[in-house]
Amino acid sequence: MIPKRTPLPSFYQTGAELGRTFSGVVPLHFYGELTKTAEGCRILEEKGHFDEFAEVIVNYKDEDEDLERIVKLKSCLWAVGNIGANDGGVPFLEKSGIVREIVSIAEQSSVVSLKGYDLMN
């Protein structure tokens, strides 16, 4: 008898598995939008969120087993990529030196989906 598949929590499911269809428009990312203004960059600096994202990337970059850590790493990579997509966000990447860590993940991670996250951003 084949065991019944246990459904994944919704945050691990794809849009199709949740009954959603892709409209062709990627939703805006909060941190990407924040770095479009000087005020947003100031707030990001004050709150220290970028540093927290960078810390997760450095600490979890070699993770290949703990699904919760991998999902958190992907989330931080996505946020950092959106921050760096704007002129106002580039100084955050330069100051932290995080680009070197992201390149390392893209080149060396045994988790294929992490390599894709790095190349998408």
Q: What distances in angstroms separate CA 108 from CA 8, 45, 100, one per listed residue?
A: 27, 30, 12
pLDDT of residue 76: 95
Number of domains in the chain: 1
Residue 2 included in any domain? no
pLDDT of residue 17: 59
* 6: phi then psi, degrees, rounded to nearest 5: -80, 125
User: Mean pLDDT throughout 71-90?
Assistant: 94
Which of these ranges, 12-21, 41-50, 60-69, has the smallest mean pLDDT? Answer: 12-21
Residue 93 included in any domain? yes
Residue 76 included in any domain? yes
Residue 42 included in any domain? no
Question: What is the pTM (predicted TM-score) of this model?
Answer: 0.75
Helix, strand, coil shares, percent, the chain, to 5:
60, 0, 40
User: Mean pLDDT throughout 11-15?
Assistant: 55
User: Mean pLDDT throughout 80-100?
Assistant: 95
Cα separation, 67 vs 119, in Å, equals 20
SS3 annotation, 58-89: HHHCCCCCCHHHHHHHHHHHHHHHHHHCCCCC
Residue 4 included in any domain? no
Domain span holding position 64: 47-121
Answer whether 34's CB lies under 8 Å from 53's CB.
no
Q: How large a percentage of the chain has pLDDT more than 90?
A: 66
